[in-house]
Amino acid sequence: MSLGDQIAKNLPYLRRYARALTGSQATGDAFVRATLEAALADDQLKASLEGGRVPLYRAFNKVWASAYMDVPEPVGEGHEGAAQDRLKSITPLNRQALLLTTLEDFSVEQAGEIMDLAPDQIERLVQEAVSEIDRESATSVLIIEDEPLISMQLEDLVTSLGHEVCGTAATRTQAQEVVAQKTPGLVLADIQLADGSSGLDAVDDILAIDSVPVIFITAYPERLLTGDRPEPTYLVTKPFQEQTVRAAISQALFFGSSRPLG
């Protein structure tokens, strides 16, 4: 497999990680673009990418670590401005360690290689991030999921984090009924629903009313990570680990909004 093919294979997942870390599709993609430009300008860095996914994320980390303190002033409105504003107060190392070991499923050793830290330091950072999550304000959560067992698992997880489940829905219509009674503070949504309706459409209905953080949970994330259209900021792959959803909830509530960005 050529280097270009290797990078192309891993690029959707690096983009997923970048937007989860920054809270914005546009900002995340800007950091990914800067990483690829740095590799093109540095033969040694380019050659290191032959090693696969870990060195690609390591290259991204170097760009992120050198630049995140110089995020430009907030521009525009809504999620984009909010995300850039929150970047100025983010505690990047612990949340980065948590996302690498949960959302991206790297081992502690691999995350250490990416971040230039010892495995025991990664473990400490992950615990710090979990403690931050536990201190976050509770909110109401709508779960849009047509598999009863998965819906129950998500309910248990959400309530264990101190949040309230304001409703569950297996179809777009049911989601509309829940939101008519109460606008949630967070939405967890599957994409393919029981009656053939779309979780994407259900979420669009909600975002037409208010800007609410949304986490999509799907077995086919690559279908949404094409770069052809505005994409969800938070995307969790099925089957998921509870720690992965927990990390996504943390980031979504931290940035306060996940309206797709163009």
Read off the pLDDT band of 194 (50, 70, 90). confident
Look at the pTM and tell me if it is higher than 0.75: no
Q: Give residue 140's Cα distance to chain centre.
A: 19
Which domains, from first to last, does the chain contain?
3-135 (1.20.140.160), 138-257 (3.40.50.2300)
**pLDDT on residue 151:** 96
> In this predicted structure, what is the pLDDT of residue 73?
45
Query: Does residue 239 have a cis bond before it (omega within 30 degrees)?
Result: yes
Place 229 in a pLDDT band, splitting at 50, 70 and 90.
Answer: low
pLDDT at 37 over 90: yes
Token pair of 186 as six digits: 């967070």
Write down the pLDDT at residue 145. 96
* Residue 156 pLDDT grade (very low, low, confident, very high; cuts 50, 70, 90): very high
Confidence tier at 258 by pLDDT (50, 70, 90)? very low
Give me 74's structure tokens: 């907030």
**pLDDT surpasses 70 at 102:** yes
In the numeric block, which tokens belong to residue 129? Answer: 């991030």
pLDDT for position 23: 80
Residues 6+ apart with CB under 8 A from 27: 18, 19, 71, 80, 83, 84, 87
Model confidence at 30: pLDDT above 80? yes
When pLDDT is averaged across residues 69-87 and rounded to a whole number, the result is: 49
Confidence band, pLDDT 50/70/90 cuts, at residue 86? low
Cβ neighbours, 10 Å, residue 26: 17
Instruction: Give the Cβ contact number of residue 69 at 10 Å.
Output: 10
**Helix 108-115 and helix 119-135: axis angle, to 10°?**
100
- The candidate with the shortest Cα–Cα distance to 167, out of 149, 190, 150, 186, is 186
Where b means 16+ CB within 10 Å and e means fewer, 104-126 reads bebebebbbbbbebeeebbbebb
pLDDT value at residue 72: 45
- What pLDDT is stored for residue 215 in this prediction? 93
**Highest mean pLDDT pick, 44-48, 175-179, 209-213:** 175-179
More confident site: 76 or 15: 15
Average pLDDT score, the chain: 84
For residue 261, pLDDT beyond 60: no
The residue with greater pLDDT, 98 or 71, is: 98
Structure tokens at 149: 């067992």
Mean per-residue pLDDT, 235-243: 89
Half-sphere exposure of 151 (CA within 13 A, CB side): 18
Phi-psi region of 227 (alpha: psi -120 to 50; beta: other; left: phi over 0): left
**pLDDT single digits (tens) 103-116:** 898 999 999 999 99
Supply φ then ψ for residue 258, to 5 degrees.
Answer: -135, 35
* Whole-number pLDDT of residue 185: 93
